[in-house]
Chains A and B, each alone.
Chain A
Amino acid sequence: DAGVTQSPTHLIKTRGQQVTLRCSPKSGHDTVSWYQQALGQGPQFIFQYYEEEERQRGNFPDRFSGHQFPNYSSELNVNALLLGDSALYLCASSLGQRTYEQYFGPGTRLTVT
């Protein structure tokens, strides 16, 4: 039973560029949430996707956008990258929008130079 997978593992981008991160949820899960985790901090909720729509959103600017595909996988897009966007980006999946337990992937380490 495959857990949550994310790609790529590491990524280096230049300020102003755009980036796309990918997530495949745990088998049987249909809801994907994205988090940003700065070094030494707890994860910060970005948004959640369910039924291919953004259902919840945290306090992140519109530069952060996402998408969910019919197979429940998801992408996180960040435009006009800033140095402060450097972080570990975590994807978490769950079954149903109103479930408590989320399973996290290993994350994508994004470095913006």
Chain B
Amino acid sequence: GESVGLHLPTLSVQEGDNSIINCAYSNSASDYFIWYKQESGKGPQFIIDIRSNMDKRQGQRVTVLLNKTVKHLSLQIAATQPGDSAVYFCAEMFTGTTDSWGKFQFGAGTQVVVTP
């Protein structure tokens, strides 16, 4: 079936550098996307979201880019810090029908390791 996937399973980043985490999605009907951060022993934590009527959204040190043409999503983290070390997931959802609401589909995740 259709699924959300990530290109890089592990990303090693030097402290202070910018990180870019990529995600490919195959369900062209998906119209809402979220990035989550999951630290060891914890549940996923909401980072930022974006709707399909946007191509860019910025938060504090994070930016999400959406390219619907190639069904690609990315998360950029500026000035990566040791506390950013975690697994990052993208998740998609189609909000257009009652049956699909709440059914987030997650990718496998990318492990980000921040080195000093």
Chain A interfacial positions (CB closer than 8 Å to B): 4, 31, 33, 35, 40-45, 48, 55-56, 58, 90, 92, 97-98, 100-107
Contacts and interface: CB of A to CB of B under 8 A. Distances in A.
Contact of B104 (A40, A45, A107): A45
Interface residues of B, number: 26
Nearest to B89: A42
Given A33-B102, A55-B102, A100 B43 contact: no
A100 B95 CA distance: 9
Contacts of A31: 102
Given A42-B106, A42-B107, 12 more contacts: A40-B109, A41-B108, A42-B109, A43-B104, A43-B106, A55-B102, A56-B99, A56-B103, A100-B34, A101-B46, A104-B43, A106-B41
Nearest to A91: B43
Contacts of B95: 98
A100 B41 CA distance: 24
Contacts of A97: 101-102
B32 A100 contact: yes
B108 A42 contact: yes
A63 to B, nearest CB: 19
A28 B41 CA distance: 25
Contact of A101 (B41, B49, B100, B105): B49
Contacts of A90: 43-44
Contacts of B102: 31, 33, 45, 48, 55-56, 97
27 contacts: A40-B108, A41-B108, A42-B4, A42-B89, A42-B91, A42-B106, A43-B44, A43-B89, A55-B101, A56-B99, A56-B100, A56-B102, A56-B103, A58-B103, A90-B43, A90-B44, A92-B43, A97-B101, A100-B32, A100-B34, A100-B93, A104-B44, A104-B45, A105-B43, A106-B41, A106-B43, A107-B43
